[in-house]
Amino acid sequence: MSTPAAEALRLLRDRGETLAVAESLTGGLVAAAVTEVPGASSAFRGSVTAYATDLKAGLLGVDAGVLTARGAVDDAVALQMADGVRRALGAHWGIATTGVAGPEPQDGRPVGTVYVAVRGPRDGGKVVALRLNGDRTEIRRESVRSVLALLLERLSDRPGGARAQDTEQNGGT
C-alpha cells in the first residue's frame, strides 16, 4: 500500500515539479515522512523547521506584523510559511504546519489547534484549520497526515477528497 507521501512524490515526479516543507509543531516529522520514500530526492528540495517565531519571519518571510498581531498559530502564518519555503528553497510546491501540540496553550490558542497549508505554483494556496485531540505525539502525527493529505488533494485535483478531519479522537495509523 502506497503512503500519502509516496503518492504525492509520484505525482510531483510525473509533473516534473518539486516540494519544500516548512514545519513548526511537527519539528521535522513531515520531512522525515517524505524522505522515508525511496527516490524522494527526485522531487523533494528540502525543509525548514522554524520552531521559533522570529525564524518564521526571518527565514520564511512571514509578515512580522501578522506574527505580532495574531501569533504564530494562525491560518495566515501557515499559508505564508508554505509560500515562503517554496520561494526560499526554489520549489514548485510548499507545505507547512503550525500549531499547538502541548502540553500548554500558546498565543491564546488551546492545545490541538493546528493549521496546515499548501501553496502551489499556480494558485493562492489552501489552509485547513484542525482541532485535534490526543497527546502531543498524536497531535503531531495527525498534523503530518493532514498536511500530506492536503498536498495530495491539491496534486490530484480532488477537491475535498483528502480533506483533513476535525476529530474527537485521532484516527489510528
What residues make up the domain containing 39? 4-156
Q: How many domains does the chain have?
A: 1
Predicted TM-score (pTM) of the model is: 0.90
Contact 95, 21 (CB under 8 A): yes
* The pLDDT of residue 169: 36
* The pLDDT of residue 50: 97
Q: Is residue 97 part of a domain?
A: yes
State the CATH number of the domain containing residue 16.
3.90.950.20
Q: Is residue 29 part of a domain?
A: yes
Q: Is residue 162 part of a domain?
A: no
Q: Is residue 120 part of a domain?
A: yes
Distance CA 43, CA 31 (A): 12
* The pLDDT of residue 107: 87
* The pLDDT of residue 163: 36
Give me the residues of the chain with pLDDT under 50, please: 158-173
Q: Is residue 28 part of a domain?
A: yes
* The pLDDT of residue 1: 64
Distance CA 141, CA 32 (A): 12
Q: Is residue 93 part of a domain?
A: yes
Distance CA 140, CA 146 (A): 10
Q: Is residue 164 part of a domain?
A: no
